[in-house]
Amino acid sequence: MYNGEAGSAFIAGLPALTADFLDRWDLKTDGRPMHGVSALVLPVVRPDDTPAVLKLQLLDEESVGEPVALRAWDGDGSVRLLDHDEATGTMLLERLDSSRMLAHHPDVHESVLVIARLLAHLTSFPAPAGLRRLGDIAQAMLEQTPWALERIPDPEARRVVADCAAAVREVVDEPGDRLLHWDLHDENVLASGRAPWLAIDPKPLAGDPGFELWPAIANRFDADDIRWRFDAMTDALGLDRARARAWTYGRLLQNSLWDIEDGRPLEEDQLEIARRLRGRS
């Protein structure tokens, strides 16, 4: 169960929470509900007949910053926040076209470029105060690395993860201050009547835009396409490739630490991303 007892309690309380916000914001349901790992999304209609979605989610260190980021972007490249309850994390959002998801686009290269262009715009915003900071996250990862390396049985995989940690150590003192989405993969980009593509579901933090590249590199994985995607995205965002590569390695380090904590083997596809980017300039 996601988030253990807290996740169970959240699910048990969903019917009452849903009824409360439908009544509080005078909403009517208008379609089939959708859900992810930790949120329920209900299509609704506002009193003036405007379509919207009601998002009910379990508050954690990632989701608590979502309304902060959405307010900063104010619909400019992202879904628009219409209302928010701070106590529960419940949000009322504009309704986008969930049937037109970037993940369904047949041209993977165009999909990567869409994400790159969105990221170039979203990360142009300074991070508001109070968000998680990449520097703190990276420092905590480096402190945990020796413990993790002892638990990787394969010498080559252990060396890849150690190399990633070494790269992060080179940039950790300059973690950046841009507003990052963190999770802009091709299922978190939807079409809209007011813009071709908009970002949804940020897990925001303050940091270096190089930390944003991983999801689009890993989407619809193709080992032979890794370098093209990295080069295309760093060009679109105007990033220094050495720094961007270091922060991309940081995503592999982060994912590896989570896998090891949960007792899962490291994913070969993720290790291959690090191998293919090695020596890229």
Catalytically active residues, by annotation: 183
Spatial distance between the Cα atoms of 242 and 219, rounded to a whole number of angstroms: 22
User: Which among 254, 275, 280 is positioned nearest to 163, based on CA atoms?
Assistant: 275
For residues 59-72, one letter each, b for 16 or more C-beta atoms within 10 angstroms of the residue's C-beta and e for the rest, the string is beebbbbbbbbbeb
Whether 158 contacts 79, CB under 8 Å: no
